[in-house]
Amino acid sequence: MATPMENENPNFARTATSFRNFVSKDPDSQFPAESGRYHLYISYACPWASRCLAILKLKGLDKAISFSSVQPLWRNTKENDEHMGWVFPDSDTEVLGAERDHINGAKSVRELYDIASSNYTGKYTVPVLWDKKLKTIVNNESSEILRMFNTEFNHVAENPSLDLYPPNLRAIIDETNEWIHDGINNGVYKCGFATNQETYDVEVKRLYEALDRCEDILRKQRFLCGNTLTESDIRLFVTVIRFDEAYAVIFKCDKRLVREYYHLFNYTKDIYQIAGMSSTVKMDHIKQNYYGSFPSINPLEIIAHGPNIDYSLPHDRHRFSLESDYTRLELFESASFVCELKLIEIFDSL
Ligand SMILES: N[C@@H](CCC(=O)N[C@@H](CS)C(=O)NCC(=O)O)C(=O)O
């Protein structure tokens, strides 16, 4: 069961994830990658769950793996019990984007864990990858769900050739994931839940060193590990897309906003505009959850108004050469951007 994880900040310790089985393309495995068999439970508010949904969308697995979101506000998960957590709405129309649990009829994510294990004592987290056939949780660790979606379902994926963890980039992806996780993905939480000034100061410093490092990398190349989109980009994206709208205020990450980083901001728009990605971002769920579910840091649950950034506005990232099998349209756009730059150079020299 869940054990405390090593963490330098004792005020914010994550717990290890408990269900760690793997779906495999091997048809004889315990959890074979069959179309229609698995369901991904998410919250649109949660970055860890959203990164799984993002890979599901990018790989074109919508028809093979069903998914649904809980409602954004934490509620009591059981009568006469203090525990607050993810719950499903009572109807499909009550909360836009959230659905009743059509698979198990559960009222809360906690109930799913109870169905899967009678002696579970850990947290009731999303994402949950559910096996409809064996009626159990396969895995609740997003970093592993990402990998399964990337490689194991290719025979039923609409975009099987997309590899977000290609063998030639694995070393750099692993290294990048590590500092992005510590400094940024988890870093914002460590700032937000710091309970004294010293801890907060240390965590903010670490966060901004990592963001500055991203800006330096993205000045020179389109994505974190080169000019190919990888898993590391999706892992960074889910945090930077929430940054200005939620973390800057609720977690006191206001030293510099993402939209004040020229390259990082353009990069965020670039990724948001990849087909399928914008559907994984529901800012109303994000804001309601972060401002409304953590009474220790926002007891009055008032939701900050701004800044309502439009991530669909143009960006400048097409100027980088593309190594990946991106669409012809993108190649064309990138070529026309280079032409524009050449024309500007010519006019400037006249
Ligand atoms: N290790 C997990 C962490 C997931 C996680 O922390 N999810 C949060 C939401 S953002 C959650 O469900 N928390 C519920 C709780 O703490 O009770 C993963 O990456 O999959």
Condensed to tens digits (0 to 9), the pLDDT of residues 256-288 reads 999 999 999 999 999 999 999 999 999 999 999
- Tracing tokens 């399964």 back to the chain, one arrives at 148
Q: Which atom of ligand 1 is nearest to the CA of 84?
A: 17
**pLDDT of res. 21:** 95
Smallest CA separation from ligand 1 atom 13, residue: 125
Question: Residue 57 — very low, low, confident or very high, per pLDDT cuts 50/70/90?
Answer: very high
- For 61, residues 6+ apart whose C-beta sits below 8 A from its C-beta are 149, 153, 156, 157, 158
Q: Is the pLDDT of residue 253 over 70?
A: yes
What is the C-alpha separation between 266 and 275, in angstroms, rounded? 16
Q: Is the pLDDT of residue 337 over 80?
A: no
* Selected residue with higher pLDDT from 343 and 178: 178
**pLDDT of res. 1:** 31
Smallest CA separation from ligand 1 atom 12, residue: 125
Please say whether the beta carbons of 53 and 67 come within 8 A: yes
**pLDDT of res. 14:** 64
Q: Which atom of ligand 1 is nearest to the CA of 48?
A: 19
Domains and CATH numbers, the chain: 38-156 (3.40.30.10), 167-315 (1.20.1050.10)
Please say whether the beta carbons of 211 and 184 come within 8 A: yes
**pLDDT of res. 18:** 83
**pLDDT of res. 324:** 45
Q: Is the pLDDT of residue 17 over 80?
A: no
Q: Which atom of ligand 1 is nearest to the CA of 123?
A: 17
Task: Tell me which of 44, 126, 190 to substitute to probe ligand 1's pocket, judged by most ligand atoms within 8 Å of the beta carbon.
Answer: 126
Which residues have CB under 6 Å of ligand 1?
Answer: 17, 46, 48, 85, 123-127, 140-142
**pLDDT of res. 4:** 35
State the average pLDDT over residues 203-231. Answer: 97
Rounded distance from Cα 123 to ligand 1 centre (Å)? 8
Structure tokens at 153: 């379902």
Q: Is residue 142 part of an annotated ligand binding site?
A: yes
**pLDDT of res. 13:** 65
Q: Is the pLDDT of residue 40 over 70?
A: yes
Q: Is residue 138 part of an annotated ligand binding site?
A: no
Condensed to tens digits (0 to 9), the pLDDT of residues 288-323 reads 999 999 999 999 999 999 899 999 999 999 999 654
Compute the mean pLDDT over every residue in the chain, rounded to the nearest whole number: 91
Q: How many CB atoms lie within 10 A of CB 279?
A: 13
Distances (CA, A) of 223 to 136, 261, 273, 317, 327: 37, 15, 14, 9, 16
- For 84, residues 6+ apart whose C-beta sits below 8 A from its C-beta are 74, 75, 76, 77, 293
Task: Tell me which of 21, 48, 82, 137 to substitute to probe ligand 1's pocket, judged by most ligand atoms within 8 Å of the beta carbon.
Answer: 48
Rounded distance from Cα 154 to ligand 1 centre (Å)? 27
State the average pLDDT over residues 54-78. Answer: 97
* Selected residue with higher pLDDT from 260 and 16: 260
Please say whether the beta carbons of 245 and 283 come within 8 A: yes
Q: Is the pLDDT of residue 10 over 60?
A: no
What is the C-alpha separation between 182 and 215, in angstroms, rounded? 17
Residues marked as catalytic: 46, 189
Which amino acid is residue 108, in one-letter code? S
Distances (CA, A) of 277 to 53, 86, 162, 320: 9, 23, 15, 20
Condensed to tens digits (0 to 9), the pLDDT of residues 162-179 reads 999 999 999 999 999 999
Structure tokens at 156: 């039923």
Among 59, 54, 274, 62, which residue's Cα sits nearest to residue 160? 59
What is the C-alpha separation between 314 and 5, in angstroms, rounded? 41
**pLDDT of res. 325:** 43
Question: Residue 9 — very low, low, confident or very high, per pLDDT cuts 50/70/90?
Answer: low
Tell me the three state secondary structure of residue 137: strand
Q: Is residue 125 part of an annotated ligand binding site?
A: yes
Smallest CA separation from ligand 1 atom 5, residue: 125
Rounded distance from Cα 14 to ligand 1 centre (Å)? 9
Q: Is the pLDDT of residue 6 over 90?
A: no
State the average pLDDT over residues 90-94. Answer: 95
Question: Residue 27 — very low, low, confident or very high, per pLDDT cuts 50/70/90?
Answer: very high
CB-side neighbour CA atoms (13 Å) of 300: 3
Distances (CA, A) of 300 to 38, 248, 292: 38, 18, 8
Q: Is residue 228 part of an annotated ligand binding site?
A: no
List residues bridging with 41 in a β-sheet: 68, 128
Which amino acid is residue 110, in one-letter code? R
What is the C-alpha separation between 69 and 44, in angstroms, rounded? 6
Q: Is residue 152 part of an annotated ligand binding site?
A: no
Q: Which atom of ligand 1 is nearest to the CA of 143?
A: 19
**pLDDT of res. 80:** 87
